[in-house]
Structure 1
Amino acid sequence: MVALKTFNNLSIERQTEIISVCLEEFALHEYQTASLSNIVSRLNLAKGSFYRYFENKQSLYFFLLDHCIQTRLKNDQEAITVKPTDFFELMIEHLKAKAKFDKRFPLHSAFLYNVMQEKNNDEIGNIQLTVKLKALEAVKPLVSEAFKNHVFRRDIDIEAISFLVYRMQFTILEYLELKHKLDFRQNIKNQKPFYNLPEQEILNVAKPFIEIFKTGIAGKKEENNSYE
């Protein structure tokens, strides 16, 4: 969804301010409890004026989703200037880009994270499915190229591999949350980066996961017998 013409006529500075306030509200609250009243109050707007920018809460939410996804894709393009020939090294580069994105755009990261925790409702539907499909659209061309270069087994469907690649990144981020007992909402309230971790720590955690993804989890026979 897009913003109304009145919003697009605002200065870039005012648009950025409005987007930041809206992102913070949706980053700190679920969709149902996020309050337009809080948003207009912080922006010193009359509620009627806000509806000149966005038709309703739903259109605002999907505008923010598209904005964050496009910002993330642009960030990746800027961060990954030389694409590695090794697909698994490319996964590492995307995680590095993700770390940079979190530091530059913590509210965008927090909002996207919250979207993935949302429950289905009549207004936003199955939002997790929507985001997963968008993520697969971005991942599939990279996997298809690697598939042509015989990086993956030929007996596995490209879409299945694409889903595994997408989920691997999300799994790494979830493990970082668990390992470091991260409180994302508190980081946002304290105006800290979303993950608030050194890039090297993210990479230290990511590399074993990607190695497992590359080679599998099963050990050699003698290793498997070592616990008997």
Structure 2
Amino acid sequence: MDITKKFENLDNDKQQRIINAALKEFAENGYEKASTNRIVKSAGIGKGMLFYYFKNKKALYHYLTDYTLDIVKNEYLTLIDTTEPDFIERMKQAARVKTKARSDNPDTFNFLGTLLLTSEGEVSADQLKKIQELQKLGNSKIYDNINNTLFRDDIDVDKAFKLVRWSIEGYQNEISAQLAGRKMSSINLDPYWDEFYEYLDILKTSFYK
């Protein structure tokens, strides 16, 4: 039985404790400065147990990379509805999907941010390929089958795409900073979504016919 199978046969709660502790450690400190001592302390396990399942820090990082990429694909990208031809409406739907995925997997998405900045030597060639494939999938989910005729004739559509995307991402980042440290389950997001939709209406007024 390989190491991954051994780990995945662990009790689910213990498995998730280890994953979450490791994701958080790498997200906060990066690959080089991440400490396996802090990981085992946070997970409440012995160091020997961690290295029984993962022979070294790099093996653990590789496991977390695959784990994160699978969640991004299955709980975010594949759920974006590409039948919606209105770019702003599709971005609206994608934002809701991403918010839920991030709320369900906060440490995973924080780890993803550091993963995209990591050096090539810290992920495998297969994982680099997987990252590139996910980036390609993400672009297709956002831009394929969009009805460009909705935009005003005097608008550069590619620049409008970027402005809309930057506006939405900027709003999400601002709200994420405001809500940092609070439990998402205890927050009523409806007022934030209402405000978000108001901004989208302004974008439509600015860019659409």
TM-score using structure 1 length: 0.61
RMSD over aligned Cα atoms: 4.1
Given the alignment of the two structures, is residue 101 of structure 1 paired with residue 101 of structure 2, yes or no?
A: yes
Rounded Cα–Cα distance in structure 1 between residues aligned with 2:22 and 2:50? 11
Aligned residues of 2:30 and 2:114 also touching (Cα < 8 A): yes
* Secondary structure at 1:31 match in 2: helix
Rounded Cα–Cα distance in structure 2 between residues aligned with 1:173 and 1:199? 14
CA 1:121 to 1:66, structure 2 compared with 1: closer, same or farther past 3 Å?
Answer: closer
* Secondary structure at 2:113 match in 1: helix
Aligned pairs (5 A) from 1:1-228: 4-76=4-76, 84-88=83-87, 89-116=89-116, 118-120=117-119, 122-124=121-123, 133-142=132-141, 145-146=144-145, 151=148, 169=165, 172-174=168-170, 176-177=172-173, 179=174, 182=177, 187=180, 190=181, 192-193=183-184, 198-205=192-199
One-letter code aligned to 1:138:
L
One-letter code aligned to 1:70:
D
Rounded Cα–Cα distance in structure 1 between residues aligned with 2:170 and 2:144? 28
CA 1:86 to 1:173, structure 2 compared with 1: closer, same or farther past 3 Å?
Answer: same
One-letter code aligned to 1:137:
K
CA deviations 1:98-140 (Å, max 9, x no partner) are 1112222222222222334x353743489xx768624323235
Q: CA deviation at 1:47?
A: 2.0
* Secondary structure at 1:101 match in 2: helix
Rounded Cα–Cα distance in structure 2 between residues aligned with 1:3 and 1:171? 44
Aligned residues of 1:92 and 1:207 also touching (Cα < 8 A): no
Gaps of 5+ in 2: 150-157
CA deviations 1:169-195 (Å, max 9, x no partner) are 577434543x569278xx3xx3545xx
Rounded Cα–Cα distance in structure 2 between residues aligned with 1:61 and 1:170? 30
One-letter code aligned to 2:34:
A
Q: CA deviation at 1:35?
A: 0.9
The equivalent residue for 2:153 is none
Rounded Cα–Cα distance in structure 2 between residues aligned with 1:141 and 1:90? 12
Rounded Cα–Cα distance in structure 2 between residues aligned with 1:74 and 1:43? 26
Range that drifts further, 84-93 or 16-25: 84-93
Range that drifts further, 40-49 or 5-14: 40-49
Rounded Cα–Cα distance in structure 2 between residues aligned with 1:206 and 1:33? 40
One-letter code aligned to 2:193:
E
* Secondary structure at 1:137 match in 2: helix
* Secondary structure at 2:30 match in 1: coil
Q: CA deviation at 1:38?
A: 0.5
